[in-house]
Structure 1
Amino acid sequence: MDWGSSWDFLWHFLIIFAWIAYLLVLFQILLDLFWRDRQTSGWVKAIWVFFLILFPWLTALIYLIARGRGMPEREREAAAVAKKETDTYIREVAGRSPSQEIADAKALLEDGAITQAEFETLKAKSLS
């Protein structure tokens, strides 16, 4: 058994693991900077990105130490906003209640846009 090739395999495995770990941290930092953090100015964001490219591990570590505590809070806020937008969209798409449909038909009847027979048809349709 050639131990040199086994150690080479282990070394390559560790390098690949470190690279994937760095990419995960990098994406979390970039998401936090550009997607969730609305208070930091563009210049500060550009400086963070510059140093992330120049000194990747050190900058990622400094970012996590300096701003890591706020990352989950900003993520929770972003999730709450996304949930609110989703709920609003679902309510808009789901349609209106039968009482809203009847009230709209009644307003059309009072305006003279529809006849009494059309109103009764719309009313029956919304109640079914």
Structure 2
Amino acid sequence: MSDYPLLNAFLTMLWFFLWVMWFMLLFRVVFDVFQDDSLGGWAKAGWTLFVCVLPFVGILVYLIARGRGMGERAVQRAQAQEQAFRAYVQEAAAGTPTTGPTKADQLAKLAGLHDHGDITDAEYETAKAKVLAA
């Protein structure tokens, strides 16, 4: 038999999950403080100090005082990110594809081939005229 009963194992798991949940809540509050543009620097410092010095009381007071705004700010940030993503996708889809090399790239390549002696002067002039005509 074990010296650690099932009820003690259950209580240990409960305390562990409560501890993890509290840390998640702590990080959520701290991130919300720093992401809130309506708070000034002193207010952010005050809330952070309050949450660090008296963590349980600080988090509970923050949730009571600013809890509703946390959700609204999260929704606004998500909407802004989605709008920026949609704008980027529309811009990328509407833009002309630039998969091929530019004229300057093609001319630089031709000049390198000509300087190396891989193509003759006549071939260089013909190829350059084709690139410039396109």
- Please classify the TM superposition score into its range, dividing by the shorter chain length: 0.5 to 0.7
Normalising by structure 1, what TM-score? 0.64
Aligned positions of 1:47-126 closer than 5 A: 47-96=46-95, 118=134
Deviations 1:53-108 (A, max 9, x none): 221111111111110111111111111111111112112222337xxxxxxxxxxx
Secondary structure in 1 matching 2:37: coil
Secondary structure in 1 matching 2:4: helix
Secondary structure in 2 matching 1:5: coil
Question: Where does residue 111 of structure 1 map in the other structure?
Answer: none
Number of residues paired by the alignment?
Answer: 97
Q: Is residue 21 of structure 1 aligned with residue 21 of structure 2?
A: yes
Structure 1 stretches lacking a partner, 5+ long: 98-116, 119-128
Question: Where does residue 40 of structure 1 map in the other structure?
Answer: 39
What is the rounded CA distance, in whole Å, between the counterparts of 2:62 and 2:55 in structure 1?
10
Q: Percent identity?
A: 34
What is the rounded CA distance, in whole Å, between the counterparts of 1:9 and 1:54 in structure 2?
31
Alpha-carbon distance, 1:22 to partner:
0.6
What is the rounded CA distance, in whole Å, between the counterparts of 1:47 and 1:31 in structure 2?
14
Which aligned runs of 4 or more in structure 1 are off by greater than 6 angstroms?
none
